[in-house]
Structure 1
């Protein structure tokens, strides 16, 4: 039996109560302190101190200091007034036990509410983070589109300038060719004229006249033929088609930006891999992986092989597909126990018990496992009273289970202050 501590001292002001409880050998981290708005308990084997307070306190603002063989409490009153005494009038053991159970239930409900609020806050933070990521990606996409549009306009302007420049060059070239052809024709005419004049001087008048006519005709014909041959026809107008090399990156290829494009693509691939590793998309699953029962069996095999973290991942995916299967929560609780994620094991066991309602003979085995696993997690957290309640609930399901009976007896001895068996 534990030793009840009676030689405590207390003092008060209108808003606070100062309580000093002497515990020989007490150290920080070794004393089990439990406090609600009207119940206070300190368990440091073999010593036990518990009291039902005269009025309600605000446990969230109250504090305790442990050390130097004493525990000093600073309790904040909900109502600022002087207490007539520290405890209520004497009550029977049954009423004290009832008050203790009510305090534990209230603490459990508060812990569940806190866990729900934490989960809601976590989902809100994840939603906020996702929205921020989407905004960043949208901003980056708009920047890429703007860069693409600027490059397109720039390329179009350069092409138009090139066309205009080529057109001007062609016009100048045609003018030069025409001018050069005219110069050749004039030079040929002068040469032919000098030749005809020389022939006229060396021949008689009749022959000169004949040759003069023929020469003139030949010269005129030669000039016309030469003119037709040298002067080209005007070129017809047309369009130049430019084909760009197809590529995956959304902007046009620039040699100066190749390093930046490769870095951007690498970061995008890493971000996608990280996201798929944490939250796998259901559309990427294989056909058999979309079956929660298959995932449960997969997790069981990984658990049996000792890969508890991989087993948890398999159960997580199964719960995403179907969150109404108690076996997934129950097996995930066992994996969390192996990894000493005790609070998560308690949460999963409680969720499994919620799904295993109503209590019928067909789900008795699953309810037994849920109580034992949650009770084990409570005991690992040194919450022996809560753990004993789960083991007693398991014994109600299977009263003849010798192992559970022995474990429950060990927990009772720890609560009473007796040293546990090795």
Structure 2
């Protein structure tokens, strides 16, 4: 049987009741407390303290502290006033104590259940707030990336328009130069014809008789620009000539990419492609990028060069450049036919991987799904696409 504690002490004020129960040398971690508005219990085997209070107290604001070899209860009275005694009667009915004990246990269970529900509700609210904040951060990041894309697009458009304007000006200057040369050539021919005619009729200016001086001949100098075409201006066909001149100007523009420091082999795009492949296998990805770029200067319509350069950018973590090169390769691989299916598959996977590295999982999943349409039996592609779906679902709280 438990040993009842008799050497407890208590004090009171108008509003508070203080009860001190000694622990008899028992460790604090073995103490079990139970309290309600009318009943308190302290159990630390083999000792037991039970008390049916004289009047009800506020169980929510009351406290119990364990330490320094005792349990100290600080009980706030529901109604201020002096009790002058701790319990209702000196001799307490055991049946009443049992009833109050059961009520206290039930109330503590209800309180614990309510605290658990409040804690769970608070946790759900915190998780919801966290998810909303993460979605907001992702939206802000997506908007930032879209703004960067829009800025780059506008910048590229402006540079393209500026380049077109420069090309138009250069073409106009070239056309004017050729026209001047045509005029000069026509003037030169007219001058030669005039000299020939003058040579044939020269005897009219020679002396006709002895002592009669020769007639003075005047000379007029005329300068003309050189004419490109051998035909006279009156016999030329202007539309065909201008078309030919435009082609010549375009050819001269193409020659602007010539680099005198490059050898003939380095001007061969296939040679540079093979060199770039060797750099890539050796792990020198920046050198491979430079070699692919040189090859593209001489063959800008080869989709494999863009796709391979995208693989190098992916290794170098240049994800935006990877997406740009993959997009160019896919554009050049149209129309989609079985012969270019493998190339389109590589470009789509690299582009999707770059999007996922930028945490743009929705865009990356779209590219992987397009790749699966090309090769629906590819188990690795299926597994990667499923991982991306799981990331998207977890980030949206589904």
TM-score in terms of structure 1 length: 0.52
Which of 260, 263, 268 is 2:359 aligned to? 268
Distance of 2:170 and 2:59 partners within structure 1: 92
Distance of 1:228 and 1:171 partners within structure 2: 20
Distance of 1:234 and 1:171 partners within structure 2: 11
SS at match of 1:73: strand
Distance of 2:21 and 2:5 partners within structure 1: 8
Counterpart for residue 179 of structure 2: 178
Preserved contact between residue 319 and residue 357 of structure 2 (Cα < 8 Å): no
Preserved contact between residue 34 and residue 104 of structure 2 (Cα < 8 Å): no
Distance of 2:392 and 2:187 partners within structure 1: 88
Cα distance, 1:11–1:267 mapped onto 2, change above 3 Å = farther
Counterpart for residue 119 of structure 2: 118
The alpha carbon displacement at 1:50 in A equals: 0.8
Kindly report which structure 2 residues correspond to 1:3-402, keeping only aligned pairs within 5 A, or say none: 3-89=3-89, 90-201=91-202, 224=232, 228=236, 233-234=241-242, 253-254=320-321, 265-266=356-357, 268=359
The alpha carbon displacement at 1:279 in A equals: 8.3
Cα distance, 1:76–1:227 mapped onto 2, change above 3 Å = farther
Cα distance, 1:38–1:264 mapped onto 2, change above 3 Å = farther
Distance of 2:65 and 2:139 partners within structure 1: 53
TM-score in terms of structure 2 length: 0.54
Preserved contact between residue 56 and residue 77 of structure 1 (Cα < 8 Å): yes
The alpha carbon displacement at 1:227 in A equals: 5.7
Distance of 2:189 and 2:392 partners within structure 1: 90
The alpha carbon displacement at 1:94 in A equals: 1.7
The alpha carbon displacement at 1:186 in A equals: 0.5
Cα distance, 1:180–1:158 mapped onto 2, change above 3 Å = same
Distance of 1:44 and 1:273 partners within structure 2: 55
Preserved contact between residue 17 and residue 74 of structure 1 (Cα < 8 Å): yes
Distance of 1:274 and 1:225 partners within structure 2: 71
SS at match of 2:201: helix
Which structure's relative contact order is higher, taking Cα pairs within 8 Å and 6+ residues apart? Answer: 1
- Deviation sequence 1:317-369 (CA, Å, 0-9, x none): xxxxxxxxxxxxxxxxxxxxxxxxxxxxxxxxxxxxxxxxxxxxxxxxxxxxx
Counterpart for residue 342 of structure 1: none
Distance of 1:105 and 1:7 partners within structure 2: 29
**Number of corresponding residues:** 259
- Deviation sequence 1:31-88 (CA, Å, 0-9, x none): 1122222211111111100111122223343333334443222222233322232112
SS at match of 1:58: strand
- The answer for unaligned runs of 5 or more in structure 1 is 206-221, 285-422
Preserved contact between residue 185 and residue 226 of structure 1 (Cα < 8 Å): no
Cα distance, 1:174–1:5 mapped onto 2, change above 3 Å = same
Distance of 1:182 and 1:277 partners within structure 2: 72
SS at match of 2:72: strand
- Deviation sequence 1:228-280 (CA, Å, 0-9, x none): 1798544599xxxx999899x9x99448x99xx9998447389x979958986
SS at match of 2:236: helix
Counterpart for residue 298 of structure 1: none
Q: CA RMSD in A?
A: 4.5
